[in-house]
Structure 1
């Protein structure tokens, strides 16, 4: 690929990471702001181990979203975010059909975006790429 295409790809990956990461941060921060209420809500929805699940979801969404924005630990973050969103599909949204407002289309999109960014690489403007360059490794994506 030409230099322009690489630069454009890196910029698009950065924009995608920021946009999707901010969505995760917002959802996680909302849960962190009221962990007791989140755990109670999870219990009412039938989510197993609601208190532990609330803490897990809140921390993964908030800090995983931040890591996504930074482009840090992307494969791990992608999987953790996908676990949280897949749980939301299984325990909450899946029974409501595909379409919004309560279906699983939005959550499925976040799941796939987290995996794509996690395993597709964060581009040149990511912490992962910076660290790889410092170690003298080739930067993929």
Structure 2
């Protein structure tokens, strides 16, 4: 797939993934707070809970916002992949697929979405594309 359908699909996927990540980061920072999120990570057995909470919160809140805008998409996507791998390996005592049964569906879906953006980039409807277009125009002038 190329052209407009591809770029629209990337826009929709990127924005939805960004919204989900932003919501989870917002929850950690503004609802649970650093102490509450650190306590939850400790109970889940996440190593170095304060550092893990700081990383996850920043990647999810700031990274989610950047994905919505389509800015620094490949960098953010790589950080999200690491975030989800960390979640999978540290909290993953998976008994099922569905989240309510301690499943991996959320981490898996976010991981796959981030991998796709890492490989494809943000698409035409993004700040990344706008900046790259300007850079190319300046270089050819």
TM-score, scaled relative to structure 2: 0.88
Residue 93 of structure 2, aligned match among 85, 92, 95: 95
1:86–1:108 CA contact under 8 A, matched in 2 = no
Q: Is the 8 A contact 1:74 1:119 kept in 2?
A: no
Match of 1:9 in 2: 6
Alignment pair present for 1:22 and 2:19: yes
CA distance in 2, matches of 1:118, 1:71: 12
Say what the alpha-carbon RMSD is for the aligned residues. Answer: 1.5
Structure 2 gaps of 5+ residues are: none
CA shift, 1:18, in A, is 0.8
In proportion to residue count, which structure has more helix? Answer: 2
TM-score computed with the length of structure 1 as normaliser? 0.88
Give CA-to-partner distance per residue, 1:44-101, whole Å, 9 cap, x none: 1111110111111011101111111111111111110111111111111x21234112
Separation (CA, whole Å) in 2 of partners of 1:96 and 1:13: 30
Deviation of 1:123 (Å):
1.0
Structure 1 stretches lacking a partner, 5+ long: none
Residue 126 of structure 2 corresponds to 126
Distance apart, 1:109 and its partner CA: 1.4
1:59 equivalent in structure 2: 58
Query: 2 CA distance for matches of 1:103 and 1:35?
Result: 25
SS in 2 for 1:125: coil
